[in-house]
């Protein structure tokens, strides 16, 4: 399988993601400059975390207007896999590849910690190695992770199985105390209608080796491999 990892000015998780794909998953991977448009030969594009273009205007806004993001829109329309992590999630919402928006955390602070997540839909290219209701432990690190979408759209997303991950406590309970940023209904990750585009605030690449304290991020990354096999 051939992965491409997007690199925007200000990306800072691009090489982390690249190394996990190359050294842990042992898959073919390349870094892709934000000015490139020739991406059809990839099977999955990953938009990594960071602060693309310094988060000026809004996080992800400037990156959403680059040549690479324009090509990613066409790539996604063809049904190929796209995953946006943290800032990558913000870019995908700004590019209208995913519904909703990411706002500043409700408490106004940057949050960086391990976070429990409950898998709401295990029937996607990104979660097929999970079980519905499974609890994952994956780090978060963001200032603008407060996911919001209007109620009508949210109902449609829930009916269509687009709510993929929710913040929870260690027992899987969806509570206000377990919500690190104020996201509506504790939402931590969503997909588009076709399920080939996935955005999440937690960082699976930071949870892919036992030395880091959790390998739960591999459930997501290996799901991509299983889907493509």
pLDDT of residue 154: 98
Pairing of strands 44-47, 81-85: parallel
**Do 160 and 123 touch, CB atoms closer than 8 A?**
no
**Distances in Å between the alpha carbon of 150 and those of 86, 153, 200, 221?**
21, 6, 18, 30
pLDDT of residue 229: 82
Instruction: Write down the catalytic residue from 27, 94, 168, 203.
Output: 203
Q: Please report the domains of the chain, with CATH numbers, ordered by start residue.
A: 2-228 (3.40.50.880)
Supply the DSSP symbol for 165.
Answer: E
Instruction: Write down the catalytic residue from 13, 44, 86, 168.
Output: 86
pLDDT of residue 225: 98
Q: Is 205 a catalytic residue?
A: yes
Distance (Å, rounded) from C-alpha 160 to C-alpha 145? 23
pLDDT per position in the chain (229 positions), as tens? 999 999 999 999 999 999 999 999 999 999 999 999 999 999 999 999 999 999 998 999 999 999 999 999 999 999 999 999 999 999 999 999 999 999 999 999 999 999 999 999 999 999 999 999 999 999 999 999 999 999 999 999 999 999 999 999 999 999 999 999 999 999 999 999 999 999 999 999 999 999 999 999 999 999 999 998 8
pLDDT of residue 77: 98
Instruction: Write down the catalytic residue from 27, 94, 120, 205.
Output: 205
To the question of pTM greater than 0.85 for the whole model, the response is yes
Q: Is 203 a catalytic residue?
A: yes
Q: Is 86 a catalytic residue?
A: yes
């Amino acid at each position: 399988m051939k992965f491409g990892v997007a690199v925007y000015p200000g990306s800072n998780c691009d090489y982390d993601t690249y190394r996990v794909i190359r050294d842990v998953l042992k898959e073919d991977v390349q870094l892709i400059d934000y000015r490139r448009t020739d991406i059809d030969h990839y099977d999955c594009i990953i938009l990594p975390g960071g602060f693309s273009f310094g988060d000026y205007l809004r996080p992800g806004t400037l990156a959403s207007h680059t040549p690479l993001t324009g090509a990613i829109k066409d790539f996604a329309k063809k049904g190929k896999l796209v995953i946006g992590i943290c800032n990558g999630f913000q870019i995908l919402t700004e590019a209208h590849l995913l519904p909703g928006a990411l706002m500043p955390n409700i408490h106004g602070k940057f949050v960086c910690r391990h976070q429990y997540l409950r898998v709401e839909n295990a029937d996607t290219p990104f979660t097929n190695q999970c079980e519905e209701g499974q609890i994952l432990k994956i780090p978060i690190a963001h200032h603008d992770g407060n996911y919001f979408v209007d109620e009508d759209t949210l109902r449609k997303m829930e009916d269509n199985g687009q709510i993929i991950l929710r913040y929870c406590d260690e027992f899987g309970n969806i509570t206000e105390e377990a919500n690190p940023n104020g996201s509506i209904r504790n939402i931590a990750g969503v997909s588009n209608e076709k399920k080939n585009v996935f955005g999440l605030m937690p960082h699976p690449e930071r949870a892919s080796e036992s030395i880091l304290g959790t390998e739960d991020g591999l459930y997501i990354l290996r799901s991509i491999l299983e889907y493509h096999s």
